[in-house]
Amino acid sequence: MAKHQSSPEGASSQGANSPDANQTLEPFFVLHKAQPQATVGEKLSRSGKGRERGSKSSPKSPGKFKRTPSDEQSSGTLYEQWRLKAFNETWSKIESSIEGVLRDINLKLFNEVLQWVEESFSEIKSNVKLSSSEIQQPYPLVNDTLCRKIPTAFVLTKNAEFVDDIKTFCDLGMHLKSNRCHVANMSTLDFSIKYRVGGSIRSLLRQLHSEPLDIADVLTLAKWYCEGENYVKPIVVMIDDMERCNPDVLGNFITMLSEWVMKIPIFFIMGVATTVEAPRNLLPSNALQHLDPCMLTLGTPSDRMNALVESVLVRLCYNFSLGHKVTLFLRNYFLRHDGTITSFISALKLACSKHFSLESVSFLCLYLLDKDYELIFFSSLYNYLNIQCLFEVARYSKMQFLDIFCEATDPEMYSMSCSDSTSKKPIKCGAKNSSEMLSSGVGSIARAIHTIREMPVTALSNLLNTWNIHTEKMTEINGEVKKLQSLVTTNEGKVYDENLPNIRKRTISLLSGKGNSPNEKVAMLLDAMIRKYMKPTECMALHEIICFRDVDVLRSGLIGDSRKTIQLDLLKCQSYLSCSCCSSDAMSLSPSMHDTSIMYKLAQEYGDVINLYEWYQSFKNVLTSASQTPKKKRHLSPASKKAKTLPPSAIEALIQARFCEAVTELQITGLLRMPSKRRPDFVQRIAFGL
C-alpha cells in the first residue's frame, strides 16, 4: 500500500496524454481523494466482512455518487460493484483466451481423427457395397473375410486423471458431428455390470435415434442406418474413459457389433488414460481380435500447461498476474496433487476472484487503458518479451515453461541479479552437462542459458529467428540479435562442408577456448537481457493493482482440511448453533446439546477403542442427570418434553435410538469405525488430535 503515493503522478501524466480525459480521469480522481477510504475498505475486506457489508447496505447507482464521500456505506457498495465488474471482465477475458489456447491444441488431434474416420470409411465403402435390404438381414454376411474387425482409434490422453479429457471428447464429438459423422458419446456408466450390454446398446441407439425406442437391439440400429440420409455417414462411437468400463460388458458390446461390421460402418474412438497396454490388459481376447487398432495421441498435460503459461500467465494484458509464491504454489499443486488443467484453471479463477475481492485497489485495472498501462508498467512489456525469448530456448530443450516462469517471478532472484549487475559477473554454470545440472539443483534459467551453449548451429539460427520476431519492439536488443543472426549464418556456411562430429568438436573447442563462438555470444546476450529487462511484477511500482500474492488464502481455498473442520465444529457446536442454554465453556456437557456433539466430546476421553457400553452409559448419564436436576431447562428441548410423559422403558429406548443415530453420524463423517466381529463391544476411533 505504500506505493500509492506514486499514483497521482500516473494520473496526471495520463490525463495529459489521453484524448478522452474526462472518462478516465474520474477513477483516478476518486483514488486520489478517497485514499483513506480505500484503506478502510481494505481493513474491512481483510477481516472478511466486506461482502456482507455490501449486501446489507442499500445499493446506490454510481451516477448519484458524490466525489467527496459523505456516506461510507454507499462508497463501500460502489467499490464492491467495481470490484465485481473488474473481476467479471478480467476473468471473462482470461477464460476466453484459455479456451482458445486449448482449442488450438486439440484441433490437430481432431483433424487427425476426422481424417482417420474418413479414410477408413471410404475404404469400407469401396470394398463392400450393400443394398439396404442386405443390411437389414438378420444373418451375417457370408463372404471370404476371415476376421471381422471394427476400426478403433485409441486416443492416449497421457494423464492418469481423466477430468481434462471429458471436455476434449465432447468437443471432438461436436467436431465430428459437424463433419458428416453420426456420433454417439458413451461414458463409463453405459458399460456397467448392472444393465449389461443391453444398457450400452440402448444408450447408443438413444443418441442416434431421435425418438424414444421401445426395444433396443442391433437390428433396430441397422434399420435406422438404412433410413434416408443416415446411410451416407459413418457411425462413430466414442468411449471417453475406456479403462473405467466394465471389461465384460465392453467386450460383449464389441463382439455384438462385430457381427454387423460389414453392414454398419461403426468406428470406435476410445480414450486410454494410462499406457498403450491398457486395452490389452483389460479386454478379453475374443473382443480384442475384433478391433482393428490404431493409436492417436493427445497433447500431454505439460504441453497444455506450457501453452497456458505462455498465453495467460506471462502476458500482463489481462490486468492480472501472480506473485512468486502463488506461482510456486500453483506449480506444486499441479505437479504433486492433481495434474489436471481443469483444476489449475479453477485455482487460477479462485486466485483471480480473491484478488479482486481482497485487494482494495484491484478494481483500478478496469480504468487502465493500454497506454496508461505501458506508462505505469513500462518494464512489463520488456519483461514479457524477455520471458518469451527464454521460452523459445525452453521449447528447444523441452523444459517446463512453468518452472522458468516461477523463477522469473522470484523477487529475490531479481534483487540478487541487480546487485550482481554492478560487478558484471555472468551467471555461472561451469561446464556441466544438463542432466548433472538438473540433479544439482541449478535454476532453470541458468539451465536454459547453458542449453544455448550446447546448441547445434541450425537450432541456434532458428532460435535467433524467433528472437528476432519477439524483440521487434526492443530496438536495442533487436540490433544485437540481427548482428548475431548474420554471424551465425556465415558460420553455418563454413561449417556445412565439414561433417557432424567436427561440428561438435569445434563448438566444444570454441566454448572452452576463446569464448567468442556464436553460441557463447547468444548466451551472453540472453544473460544480459535477463539482467537488464527481466523484472518480476512484484518488483514493479503499483503492482498491487494487478498482482495477486496472498498464497495462504489460496491454499486454504484449495486444500481445505475437511476432517479437521468437522472435528472442530463438533467440539464447538454451541458457537455455531448460538444456543442460549449451552454454556460458552467448550468442555462442559449439557443434555440440550446436539447428540453427536455430546458423543464426540465423550469419545475424546477414550483411547483408540471405545467400549460401547461405557460410552452409552455416560451418554445416558449426560442426558438423564440434567433432566433430573434443572427442571426448568427441560421445557426447552422437545425431546425431553416428550420424555416427561413417557414410561421409563420408553425413555431408555429413546436414548438408545438417539445413541445409535449419533454413532452412525460419527461413522459417516469418518471419525469412527463400527465394531468388528472379533470385538463386538468396541468401536474404533479413526481420527485423533487436531
Partner 1 sequence: MGKQPKTPEPERRTTRSAASISPAPTPSKPSAPPKTPEVSSSLRHLLSGFPGRKSQILDLIRLIGPLNSPSLPLLLYGNASTGKTSTVLKVLEHLNRPFVYVSCRSCHNPRILFETVLSQLGSSHKQCKKMPDFLNYLREALAERNKEMVFLVFDSIESVRSWDTGSKVLSLLLTLYDKLQNDGAGLLYISRSTPDAYLLRFGSFQPIDLCFPDYTFEEIHSILMRNQANPKLYSSFLSVVLKPFTRVTRRIDELASALDPLYKKYCEPLTDSTITPDEAMKRRLFDYVQPHLIAALNQTFTIPPRALKDKSGIKRQGSGIGNATGLRELDFHMSVSAKYLLISAFLASRNPATLDAALFDSTGGCVGRKRKRKSSQSSIDKNNTKAEEMLTKGPGTFPLERLLAIFQCITSVLEEDSSLNEEKALENSIGLMSDVLLQLSTLCNSNFLCKSGNCPLEGSVRYRSMIDEDMALKVARSVNFPLSNYVYRR
Q: Considering only residues 273-332, where is the footprint of partner 1 by CB under 8 A?
A: 273-276, 278-282, 285-286, 288-289, 291, 293-297, 300-302, 328-329, 332
Strand partners, 184: 237
Shortest Å distance, C-beta 270 to partner 1: 10
Q: Does 690 bind partner 1 (CB under 8 A)?
A: no
Stretch in the footprint of partner 1 (CB under 8 A) among 90-98, 190-198, 366-374, 600-608 = 190-198
Q: Which of 37, 159, 417, 537 binds partner 1 (CB under 8 A)?
A: 159
Shortest Å distance, C-beta 524 to partner 1: 26
- What single letter denotes the amino acid at residue 542? L
Shortest Å distance, C-beta 550 to partner 1: 15
| Per-residue interface string for the shown chain with partner 1, residues 414-453, x marking contact by CB under 8 A | ---------------------------x------------
Considering only residues 245 to 274 of the shown chain, the ones binding partner 1 according to CB under 8 A are 252, 255-256, 259-260, 273-274
8 Å CB contact between 199 and 190? yes
C-alpha cell belonging to residue 581: 442454554
8 Å CB contact between 80 and 51? yes
Shortest Å distance, C-beta 683 to partner 1: 11
Phi, psi values for residue 247, rounded to 5°: -60, -35
Stretch in the footprint of partner 1 (CB under 8 A) among 26-34, 57-65, 157-165, 593-601 = 157-165
* DSSP code of residue 463: H
Stretch in the footprint of partner 1 (CB under 8 A) among 137-145, 346-354, 501-509, 622-630 = 137-145
Strand boundaries in 195-338, DSSP class E: 235-239, 266-272, 291-297, 321-322
Considering only residues 331 to 350 of the shown chain, the ones binding partner 1 according to CB under 8 A are 332-339
Shortest Å distance, C-beta 334 to partner 1: 8
| Per-residue interface string for the shown chain with partner 1, residues 642-681, x marking contact by CB under 8 A | -------------------------xx----xx-x-----
201 or 626, CB closer to partner 1?
A: 201
Shortest Å distance, C-beta 567 to partner 1: 16
| Per-residue interface string for the shown chain with partner 1, residues 471-490, x marking contact by CB under 8 A | --------------------
Contacts 24+ apart (CB under 8 A), 625-632: 625/591, 626/590, 626/591, 626/592, 627/591
| Per-residue interface string for the shown chain with partner 1, residues 204-243, x marking contact by CB under 8 A | -----------x-xxx---------------------x-x
Shortest Å distance, C-beta 296 to partner 1: 6
Maximum CA extent, the chain = 107
Contacts 24+ apart (CB under 8 A), 9-12: 10/372, 10/375, 10/376, 10/542
Considering only residues 380 to 409 of the shown chain, the ones binding partner 1 according to CB under 8 A are none
Q: Which of 79, 82, 121, 154 binds partner 1 (CB under 8 A)?
A: 154
8 Å CB contact between 369 and 308? no
* C-alpha triplet 608, 611, 614: angle, nearest 5°: 130
Strand partners, 238: 185, 269
Question: 510456486: which residue's cell?
Answer: 328
Sign of CA dihedral 525, 526, 531, 535: positive
> What is the chain's Cα-based Rg?
34
| Per-residue interface string for the shown chain with partner 1, residues 542-561, x marking contact by CB under 8 A | -------------x---x-x
418 or 559, CB closer to partner 1?
A: 559
Contacts of 581 (CB under 8 A, 6+ apart): 590, 592, 633, 636
Q: Which of 29, 65, 116, 396 binds partner 1 (CB under 8 A)?
A: 116
CA dihedral of residues 270, 273, 276, 278 (deg, nearest 10): -90
Shortest Å distance, C-beta 227 to partner 1: 17
Shortest Å distance, C-beta 112 to partner 1: 7
Q: Does 10 bind partner 1 (CB under 8 A)?
A: no
Shortest Å distance, C-beta 308 to partner 1: 14
Stretch in the footprint of partner 1 (CB under 8 A) among 88-96, 100-108, 154-162, 604-612 = 154-162
552 or 585, CB closer to partner 1?
A: 552
Considering only residues 589 to 648 of the shown chain, the ones binding partner 1 according to CB under 8 A are none
8 Å CB contact between 400 and 302? yes
Number of residues lying near partner 1 (CB under 8 A): 78
CA dihedral of residues 199, 205, 206, 212 (deg, nearest 10): -100
8 Å CB contact between 684 and 673? yes
Shortest Å distance, C-beta 12 to partner 1: 41
150's enclosing H/E stretch is: strand 150-156
Shortest Å distance, C-beta 251 to partner 1: 11
Distance separating alpha carbons of residues 231 and 263, to the nearest angstrom: 11
Question: Over the range 569-578, which residues count as b (16 or more CB within 10 Å of their CB) and which as e?
Answer: ebbebbeeee
